[in-house]
Amino acid sequence: MPYTDRELERLYLYGRLLLNVLPRREDAGVDIGQVDLTHLRITKTGEDNLSLTPEGEQLLPGFTGGGAGRVHEPDKVPLPELIANLNERFGTNLSDEDLVGGSARAAMAEPKVKAAAFANNEEDFGHVFDEVFEGKLIDRIEDDTKVLQRYMDDDTFRSELTKIARRHAYEALRRDVA
């Protein structure tokens, strides 16, 4: 390969010759040559019982203070009470059939919603359920424009309604398998 930069070629050749003249570093390791093992010393330092059968009463201490603490479980409220609270807060006339009977049950029948319930926690399940539930709710209440209008216009109402339906669907789907 032809070199176009003569100075660079000259520097390379000088460096190559200089490496041959400079003393080489020895490896930091020590070579003791070939070793023939002629003697092996085996000493008994103790005797331990390694049997797997327990002898006498066994007490296994539990975790104290080092655990993560109690898991926070949300307060369980009956569904009719949740719906009554929702109706009171938003001035609607929903029944449990409107929420659970139609839209949530139709969403729960979807295969991707079932799969999401078993593979995720409730929050991640919501990413799949919320979209399907909204579609089912819109299909179900097309004739009830007042509720649909409230659902579409009021973000708080939409959030509350979807959260209640999601929790019910999540628990019902997991309970059916257990």
Asked whether the CA dihedral 117, 118, 122, 124 is positive or negative, the reply is: negative
pLDDT at 40 over 70: yes
Question: CA 123 to CA 15: how far, in whole Å?
Answer: 66
Task: Read off the pLDDT of each residue in 55-59 and give the average, rounded to a whole number.
Answer: 76
Tens of pLDDT, residue by residue over 7-29, are 888 898 899 888 888 877 666 56
**63 pLDDT exceeds 70?**
no
Question: What pLDDT is attached to residue 148?
Answer: 74
**Residue position matching structure tokens 């079932």:** 114
The tens digit of pLDDT for each residue in 166-175 reads 888 888 888 8
Amino acid 64: pLDDT? 63
- Is pTM beyond 0.85 here? no
Residue scoring higher pLDDT (55 or 47): 47
Average pLDDT over residues 136-142: 73
Is residue 143 scored above 60 in pLDDT?
no
Query: For residue 3, is pLDDT > 70?
Result: no
**Which pLDDT value is given to residue 141?**
62
Buried b (16+ CB within 10 A) or exposed e, 134-158: bebbeebbeeeeebeebbeeeeebb
> Which of the pair, 117 or 73, is modelled with greater confidence?
117
Name the packing angle between helices 111-119 and 155-177 (round to 10°). 80
Spatial CA neighbour of 134 closest among 114, 109, 170, 159? 159
pLDDT score of 178: 58
